[in-house]
A and B are shown apart, each in its own frame.
Chain A
Amino acid sequence: MIKGKVHKYGDNVDTDAIIPARYLNVSEVAELALHCMEGLDSNFVKKVNPGDIMLAEKNFGCGSSREHAPLAIKASGISCIIAKSFARIFFRNAINIGLPILECTEAVDNVRSGQTIAVELSSGKIMNMDSGKEFTAQAYPQFMYEIIAEGGLIEYTKKRLER
């Protein structure tokens, strides 16, 4: 069970907003995290706490294929992203680096910034701890849960290559 305070954003949050390209001359995640969401919310880095949850409307992570984007979000302390929909490269990247992401329109519509929510990944259950309302995210194919559970695509592939 993941529990955290919500930081909510709008439609079409792009990868340049998540991590501007001028910082892509390094790939150390701690350094990337210092500039996370800089293009959209310059206070994000100051207000985020480990375990917090990011919410967004539709098409989150559109734009570039830069894996630096989900890496920066994960390293900033965010434990899970819930959106109405994700851009497809961002979706793959988040799963591949073991950052849990869920698609759930009802949760996004019924949770505000600053509220606390709890998420159970295995069942897709999302609970607004402030309002008591409960929602269920769309299920994934089994292998994606396995990739996240094993910590990412590298760990997942490594295990299968060793077999």
Chain B
Amino acid sequence: MTLVEKILATHSNMKKVKPGQFISVPVDMLLANDITAPIAIKEFSRLGVEKVFNPEKIVIIPDHFTPNKDIASAEQAKTVRQFARLQGVNYFEVGEMGIEHVLLPEKGLVLPGDVVIGADSHTCTYGALGAFATGMGSTDIAVAMATGNIWMKVPSTIKFIYHGILPQWVTGKDLILYTISDIGVDGALYSAMEFVGPAIDSLSMDGRFTMANMAIEAGAKVGIFFADGNTIDYIKSRAMRPYTIYQPDKDAEYIRTVEYDVSTLEPQVAFPHSPENTRPISKVGDIKIDQVLIGSCTNGRLEDLQIAARVLKGKKVHKDVRCIIIPGSQKVYMDALKEGLIEVFIEAGSVVSTPTCGPCLGGHMGILASGEKCISTTNRNFIGRMGSAESEVYLSNPAISAASAVAGNIISPKEIINNR
């Protein structure tokens, strides 16, 4: 069995599971947010069950439209807050919250070997820890909140092997954008993506979170890494319950194996309106931008802000550009503050926001007008994703986004940083 088959078989108390098999799986952690929880709560109440199956295994985060952007959002957040208090589930209020997929790993709420489901498509982020984590809708979450179980089809696994050493300014974001452009936005539909190889071994946890986060952008159910020394270092001070590190069998069967040599890979930029519409930075051409967004569940972690600060230090954001930087959690914000990164950003003329999903999904804190272009470290550039249906979003890593903020057009950091 592969890693994901091992996790699913153990959880469902079976000797063996096979791709395509339908199973009922007990979950270790369940997640919903301020836009998906209201429907889940409504559906939960229709079940006629009074109490959730286990409040310790449920977490609700108000992060999408918070701090509330309008009265309707405030009403939804109120519903969610009241439910969380009544049921006694894990809940992080504005002030201690973060973007859910940054916050849950940071708080040690998700661990290697876990089965995690969340009413948010980017729940797959926790695959970085070696967990089986996947997004679902509100009704699935409602039923799992009552029963603690979820039905699942065992996915087949595609193995991605990354050889070589990552060049300067090339990150986990570039690996996943390149992979999506190679296999397409449905290239891993219904499958698990397993990320391995020398370039992965040396990839930071923050880089792995970024890659796992965008597995859904290739249609995958899960994007998973093997827990290694990096993983243990990350979780050892965070884990407050036991966890299991699973290994695949030697004769594990993969539906497909894809190999890349990343030694000459360039930073990638996804053009409108699909994450698969990707070009290397040298082939981007002259694209003037109106806005830059650095943040989100994809690239809102400390390492992302460190990279952005390396580019922005001593520079000024171009006069025609709004540069918005959003730390992914209160902890990321505080760490960035202590390291002097926030000062770098503000000195450069960026705006720094409290953690929120906000502009990534066209909620608030940086909506685009018609005809405007934004380069963003987020995960989707669908039509109208960040505002007007006549606006355009380009996706990149934090270094490219930060360099573009300075230049006013999409550019490599190499072109604005000398001798580094």
Assess the B385–A16 pair: CB atoms within 8 A: yes
Assess the A154–B121 pair: CB atoms within 8 A: no
Q: How far is the CA of A42 from the CA of B140 in the complex (A)?
A: 30
Residues on B with C-beta less than 8 A from A65 are 36, 118-121, 123, 135-137
Assess the A17–B382 pair: CB atoms within 8 A: yes
Assess the A154–B47 pair: CB atoms within 8 A: yes
Residues on B with C-beta less than 8 A from A21 are 35, 64, 361-363, 385
Residues on B with C-beta less than 8 A from A58 are 186
Q: How far is the CA of A143 from the CA of B36 in the complex (A)?
A: 25
Chain B 216-239 near chain A by CB (<8 Å), digits 1 or 0: 100101000000000000000000
Take A152-B139, A157-B146 as given contacts and tell me if A59 and B189 are in contact as well, using a CB distance cutoff of 8 Å.
Answer: yes
Q: Counting CB contacts under 8 A, is B330 at the interface?
A: no
Distance of B102 from chain A, by nearest CB (Å)? 17
Assess the B22–A141 pair: CB atoms within 8 A: yes
Take A25-B65, A96-B140 as given contacts and tell me if A64 and B383 are in contact as well, using a CB distance cutoff of 8 Å.
Answer: no
Assess the A158–B383 pair: CB atoms within 8 A: no
Q: Which residue of A lies closest to B187 (CB)?
A: A59
Assess the B221–A88 pair: CB atoms within 8 A: yes
Main secondary structure of the interface of B (DSSP, over half): loop
Spot the interface stretch: B1-9, B69-77, B312-320. Answer: B69-77
Q: How far is the CA of A25 from the CA of B76 in the complex (A)?
A: 7
Q: Counting CB contacts under 8 A, is A68 at the interface?
A: yes
Residues on B with C-beta less than 8 A from A139 are none
Assess the A88–B189 pair: CB atoms within 8 A: yes
Q: Counting CB contacts under 8 A, is B347 at the interface?
A: no
Q: How far is the CA of A154 from the CA of B40 in the complex (A)?
A: 11
Q: Which residue of B lies closest to A60 (CB)?
A: B186
Task: State which of B72, B143, B185, B383 has its C-beta within 8 Å of the C-beta of A157.
Answer: B143
Assess the A89–B382 pair: CB atoms within 8 A: no
Q: Counting CB contacts under 8 A, is A39 at the interface?
A: yes
Q: Which residue of B lies closest to A67 (CB)?
A: B137
Q: When A and B form their complex, what is the total count of cross-chain residue pairs whose Cβ atoms lie within 8 Å?
A: 133
Q: How far is the CA of A100 from the CA of B332 in the complex (A)?
A: 44
Chain B 367-398 near chain A by CB (<8 Å), digits 1 or 0: 00000000000001011110001000000000
Assess the B384–A97 pair: CB atoms within 8 A: no
Assess the A27–B42 pair: CB atoms within 8 A: yes
Chain A 131-152 near chain B by CB (<8 Å), digits 1 or 0: 0000000000101000000001
Residues on A with C-beta less than 8 A from B120 are 64-65
Chain B 136-174 near chain A by CB (<8 Å), digits 1 or 0: 111110110011000100000000000000000000000
Assess the B136–A161 pair: CB atoms within 8 A: no
| Residues of B within 8 A of A (CB-CB), count | 51
Take A27-B39, A66-B36, A85-B189 as given contacts and tell me if A39 and B136 are in contact as well, using a CB distance cutoff of 8 Å.
Answer: no
Task: State which of B72, B121, B151 has its C-beta within 8 Å of the C-beta of A89.
Answer: B121
CB-contacts of B118-134 with A (<8 A): 118-121, 123
Residues on B with C-beta less than 8 A from A68 are 39
Q: Counting CB contacts under 8 A, is A2 at the interface?
A: no
Q: Counting CB contacts under 8 A, is A111 at the interface?
A: no
Q: Which residue of A lies closest to B379 (CB)?
A: A63
Q: Which residue of A lies closest to B218 (CB)?
A: A62
Q: How far is the CA of A27 from the CA of B40 in the complex (A)?
A: 10
Q: Counting CB contacts under 8 A, is A26 at the interface?
A: yes
Q: Which residue of A lies closest to B387 (CB)?
A: A22
Q: Counting CB contacts under 8 A, is B351 at the interface?
A: no
- A22, A27, A71, most chain B CB atoms within 10 A: A27
Assess the B38–A27 pair: CB atoms within 8 A: yes
Q: Counting CB contacts under 8 A, is A77 at the interface?
A: no
Assess the B190–A157 pair: CB atoms within 8 A: no
Q: How far is the CA of A92 from the CA of B221 in the complex (A)?
A: 12
Q: Counting CB contacts under 8 A, is A93 at the interface?
A: yes
Residues on A with C-beta less than 8 A from B137 are 65-67, 70, 89, 92-93, 96
Residues on A with C-beta less than 8 A from B385 are 16, 21
Distance of A86 from chain B, by nearest CB (Å)? 9
Q: How far is the CA of A59 from the CA of B36 in the complex (A)?
A: 22
Distance of A69 from chain B, by nearest CB (Å)? 9
Q: Counting CB contacts under 8 A, is B329 at the interface?
A: no
Q: Counting CB contacts under 8 A, is B278 at the interface?
A: no
Q: Counting CB contacts under 8 A, is A30 at the interface?
A: no
Assess the B140–A158 pair: CB atoms within 8 A: no
CB-contacts of B18-37 with A (<8 A): 22, 35-36
Q: List 23 interface pairs A-B (beta carbons < 8 Å), by A numbering.
A: A14-B380, A17-B382, A21-B35, A21-B363, A21-B385, A26-B72, A59-B185, A63-B380, A65-B135, A65-B136, A66-B35, A67-B119, A67-B138, A71-B39, A88-B190, A88-B219, A89-B136, A93-B137, A97-B139, A143-B151, A158-B46, A161-B48, A161-B147
Residues in B lying within 8 Å of A, measured CB to CB: 22, 35-36, 38-39, 42-43, 46-49, 64-65, 69-70, 72-73, 76, 118-121, 123, 135-140, 142-143, 146-147, 151, 185-186, 189-190, 216, 219, 221, 274, 361-363, 380, 382-385, 389
